[in-house]
């Protein structure tokens, strides 16, 4: 055996070992973050039951009251609004792009969507503050309520909806492209119109894919922080209407972490909030994976 030969085998073994190590490291990081958040949130869980924390509405850290309900509901409201608004637009856009448009249109639209997807979220926040908030406060809200600042659940929902739109569109386009053309041709040959083909066959065939995409978008929307924080008003109350302010969990953490940490248990409460987010995103991502895996089979 010459030396050169064993040397190159050794390098290969070494390289694969190093790469395995780095891969494991990034996996461990996820586990590590989860465990870290869990441990950090223990102090508050030792003093209060999880149920009390989740179901009460008073948020007065200096009095030792940590009711997470307004934040949870705020997050749900904003995410829900965003999904409802983005879903129909994204579905129809994706249908147009895959089933009707010419490739010249696609060549123009896809790069534009990539740009939308790549914009830093603070830019969306600024856009929301400059245009959506005043629009709500001056134009839309006066039809429904007496006074509104515009910094509202609705503003958060709109900004978040626009942010997840490119993600949803590109996922839907991918899902519709997986539907075999043979199936479309089979339906068309029965004399179906393109719209009947889409509505009755393509959408049905891709239903679980659409579901997975929505779940993925929800998990993305849940954690979005800066843009939402800039437009939603950040008041720890349960919003009575979409024109009221709200305070989603990520904004709570971003606004308060680092300040007031001398208040007992504050730090731990925020860590618990972060742990919620971690779990929710983990569960939704896993859910979407499972659905997608089932489609592939």
Partner 1 sequence: MEASSITKDTVKPTAKEAHLSVRNLNVHILKNHILKNIDIEIPDKSITCIIGPSGCGKSTLLKTFNRLLDKTENVTITGKVLVDNENLYEKDAEVTHIRKKMGLLSQRPCPLPMSIYDNIAFGCKIHGTRNKKKLDEIVEYQLRAVGLWKEVKDRLHVPANKLSIGQQQRLCLARGLAVEPAFILADEATSALDPISSKHIEELFVELKKDYAIVMVTHTLRQALRIADYVVFMYLGEVIEAGPAEQVFKNPRRELTKKYLEGAFS
Q: Name the residues that contact partner 1, by CB under 8 A.
A: 102-103, 180, 182-183, 185-193, 196, 200-201, 204-205
CB of 52 to partner 1, least distance (A): 47
Task: With CA atoms as reference, report the closest residue to 245 among 108, 150, 134.
Answer: 150
CB of 210 to partner 1, least distance (A): 13
CB of 177 to partner 1, least distance (A): 14
Structure tokens given for 160: 């978040």
Q: CB-wise, 45 or 192, nearer to partner 1? A: 192
- What CA–CA distance (Å, rounded) separates 295 from 214? 15
CB of 91 to partner 1, least distance (A): 17
Q: CB-wise, 209 or 250, nearer to partner 1? A: 209
- What CA–CA distance (Å, rounded) separates 245 from 78? 11
Q: CB-wise, 109 or 119, nearer to partner 1? A: 109
Number of residues that this document lists for the chain: 297
Q: CB-wise, 100 or 131, nearer to partner 1? A: 100
**SS3 at position 65:** strand
Q: Is the separation of the CB atoms in 84 and 285 below 8 Å? A: no
CB of 178 to partner 1, least distance (A): 13
**SS3 at position 59:** strand
Q: By CB neighbour count within 10 A (0-12 exposed, 13-18 middle, 19+ buried), where does 150 fall?
A: buried
Q: CB-wise, 2 or 189, nearer to partner 1? A: 189
């Amino acid at each position: 055996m010459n030396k050169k030969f064993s040397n190159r085998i050794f390098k290969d073994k070494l390289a694969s070992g190093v790469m395995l190590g780095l891969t494991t490291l990034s996996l461990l990081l996820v586990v590590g973050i989860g465990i870290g958040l869990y441990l950090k949130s223990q102090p508050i869980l030792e003093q209060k039951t999880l149920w009390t924390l989740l179901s009460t509405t008073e948020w007065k850290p200096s009095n030792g009251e940590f009711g997470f309900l307004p934040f949870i509901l705020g997050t749900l409201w904003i995410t829900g609004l965003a999904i409802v608004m983005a879903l129909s637009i994204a579905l129809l856009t994706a249908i147009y792009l895959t089933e009707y448009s010419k490739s010249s249109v696609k060549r123009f639209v896809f790069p534009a969507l990539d740009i939308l997807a790549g914009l830093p979220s603070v830019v969306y926040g600024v856009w929301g503050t400059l245009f959506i908030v005043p629009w709500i406060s001056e134009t839309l809200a006066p039809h429904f309520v007496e006074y509104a600042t515009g910094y509202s659940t609705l503003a958060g929902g709109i900004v978040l909806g626009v942010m997840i739109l490119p993600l949803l569109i590109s996922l839907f386009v991918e899902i519709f492209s997986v539907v075999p053309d043979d199936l479309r041709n089979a339906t068309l040959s029965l004399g179906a119109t393109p719209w009947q083909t889409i509505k009755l066959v393509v959408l049905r065939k891709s239903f679980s894919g659409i579901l997975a995409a929505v779940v993925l978008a929800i998990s993305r929307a849940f954690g979005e922080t800066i843009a939402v924080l800039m437009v939603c008003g950040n008041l720890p109350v349960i919003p009575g209407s979409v024109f009221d302010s709200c305070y989603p969990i990520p904004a709570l953490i971003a606004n308060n972490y680092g300040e007031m940490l001398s208040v007992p248990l504050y730090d731990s409460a925020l860590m618990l909030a972060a742990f919620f987010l971690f779990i929710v995103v983990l569960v939704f991502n896993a859910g979407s994976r499972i659905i997608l895996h089932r489609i592939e089979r």
